[in-house]
Amino acid sequence: MRRGVCRQILRRRQHLLQRRRPLQMQKRVLSSGKQNRPFNMRMDGVDRSAGKMRIVTDINKLRKPCKPVSRETNLKKLYAKIGDAARLMLKNNGCGLAANQIGDDKQFIIAVIEENDALKVRVFVNPTIVRHSEETNDDVEGCLSIPGKYGTVTRWNDITVKHLSPAGYITETYSGQNARIIQHEVDHLNGIVCMDKAADVFDAEDVPEENEEAA
Ligand SMILES: [Zn+2]
């Protein structure tokens, strides 16, 4: 079990985000919103709001499954909201966020995906995991909606996710940390939080410092 790995990867992701700024995806996310606010990459980010948007920490609200995005959904509005959600996620040093974490009831998630040593904030609308590996791995996860707590969670190594892109439904395969983040967020859409699946739950200060660099 490698405690603190998630945080370490998160830090690496933040480092990459800072080093590579402006990212292609950051630009896209920023331009989709109303304001061009700078990202706040503080490690101890405690401001859980972006404009009127706030990260939901009420577990009862997080238990409500989200509904699929339909033809009737106003996509322009939805993408503007997703842009704000991405800013909120990055501001809070997160690597993923699900709709119900910002009080929305539609099925969408965002995730910081690492591909070819670059980071991109990816949007997944109506995501469904259609295939997964038999192999699993255990790693530490935290959740922006459950601040200060970490837990060891078993996840599939590889997943294939079907989701609605602007060009229609597509399937993509992800592995490792990318697959872990997507599984965490898809669980959110189904009303499941990582602590439901955690073999153990511990406070942030109990994550051994030496293991934070273990990834
Ligand atoms: Zn979460």
Per-residue pLDDT of 119-155, as tens digits, reads 999 999 999 999 999 999 999 999 999 998 999 999 9
Question: Which residues are found with C-beta within 5 Å of the ion, ligand 1?
Answer: 143
Task: Specify the higher pLDDT residue, 182 or 92.
Answer: 182
Active-site residue, from 72, 114, 115, 185: 185
Q: Measured at the alpha carbon of residue 214, what is the angle toward residues 184 and 18, in degrees to the nearest 5?
A: 70
**Residue 39 pLDDT greater than 80, yes or no:** no
**Residue 198 pLDDT greater than 80, yes or no:** yes
The whole model's pTM is what? 0.76
Annotation says 135 is catalytic: no
pLDDT of residue 105: 94
Structural element, H or E, at residue 70: none
What is the homologous superfamily of the domain 5-38+53-213 according to CATH? Peptide deformylase (3.90.45.10)
Q: Tell me the C-alpha distance between 133 and 155, whole Å.
A: 10
**Mean of pLDDT over the chain:** 79
Dist. CA 130 → ligand 1 center (Å):
21
Q: Measured at the alpha carbon of residue 172, what is the angle toward residues 12 and 153, in degrees to the nearest 5?
A: 50
Q: Name the least confident of 34-43, 49-58, 79-88, 136-145.
A: 34-43
Which residues contact residue 108 at a Cβ distance below 8 angstroms, ignoring those fewer than 6 apart? Answer: 66, 69, 78, 82, 98, 99, 123, 124, 125, 126, 127
The full set of domain ranges for the chain reads 5-38+53-213
Dist. CA 189 → ligand 1 center (Å):
10
Dist. CA 146 → ligand 1 center (Å):
7
